[in-house]
Structure 1
């Protein structure tokens, strides 16, 4: 794909999700080879094969709140809603997870602890093991780990922004 085609794809994505892609455009212009490797990474960040939809998005939103409090989190809210995650679940995640059903609250707490590099409470770990098999735990780990990549790149490039109010839109 040419640089112009990549820029056009970024513009379309930016318009669809109301998300500022300037940092990725700068990445592309500064290091086309590095950006090409990054493009190959991107599908991993949205990989979901074994996790139920709600578990995937609760883990992603929990981890994103640790990594970012602004535009990247808003983007993931829009994507979760577009994926047909119930708005009340998305809202509960943004409000700290306390209003989630107990199994999803455990997922939220587990993902938050993973993203924060905190020790996992053994009782929480046991409940997660009862909920998820090995393949699902691996996939959840990928979801959490990849959530920090975009905000980390943005911060490293100086494209930080202050925290912003997250909109829970009922239309994705």
Structure 2
């Protein structure tokens, strides 16, 4: 009975994200207790409150892009589209095209991108983020970055990491390689 519940939960996750969750099956097979702790963590990765939708989704793209540019990035895109984010903003975030973003999205994305890269220039943007969205905005970005990075790490450790690939945004493929890799 418990195995049927797990199978249903994983299928639901796959339907919601549009991506395979085989890593979760292996996580459960290897450590049922670890699987349940991971399952309890997942809602934190969906927390949103202070930031506008497009900005919140761009933050997640910046965070996951620092770790992975394969299926985890596609999952973030799929969930963002399902939530109602604009495809052109998601594409701009994947391509790191700041000129295509509105000011709020650009601020949130750039702060998250620099923070995810452990770039000290993120400190220069922290006060602007706090002025715009308060401590709630800082907390939301912090939780989004921290939680988004867990998935690629778990998948990589479980043997499910993949190299960069093209991702699809609203039916259109785009290069998911980080900016410096695209420029090379």
Structure-2-length-normalised TM-score? 0.85
Q: Which residue of the partner structure matches residue 137 of structure 1?
A: 138
DSSP-derived class of the 2:169 partner: coil
Structure 1: how far apart are the matches of 2:113 and 2:142?
Answer: 11
State whether structure 2 residue 81 is matched by structure 1 residue 86.
Answer: no
The offset of 1:104, in angstroms, is 1.4
5+ unaligned residues in a row in structure 1: which ranges? none
Alignment of 1:142-161 (within 5 A): 142-161=143-162
Q: Could you report, residue by residue, the CA deviation over 1:112-147 in whole angstroms, capped at 9, with x for unpaired residues?
A: 111122213454233222212011211111001111
RMSD: 1.9
* Counterpart contact for 1:70–1:165, Cα < 8 Å: yes
Q: Could you report, residue by residue, the CA deviation over 1:54-96 in whole angstroms, capped at 9, with x for unpaired residues?
A: 2211111111111110001001101101111111111111111
Structure 2: how far apart are the matches of 1:60 and 1:17?
Answer: 14
Structure-1-length-normalised TM-score? 0.91
Distance 1:30 1:84, change over 3 A: same
Distance 1:78 1:70, change over 3 A: same
Q: Which residue of the partner structure matches residue 18 of structure 1?
A: 18
Structure 2: how far apart are the matches of 1:31 and 1:10?
Answer: 15
Residues matched between the structures, number: 171
Distance 1:122 1:39, change over 3 A: closer
- Provide runs of 4+ in structure 1 moved above 6 Å: none
Bigger shift: residues 116-125 or 86-95: 116-125
5+ unaligned residues in a row in structure 2: which ranges? 172-184
Distance 1:128 1:50, change over 3 A: closer
* Counterpart contact for 2:55–2:104, Cα < 8 Å: no
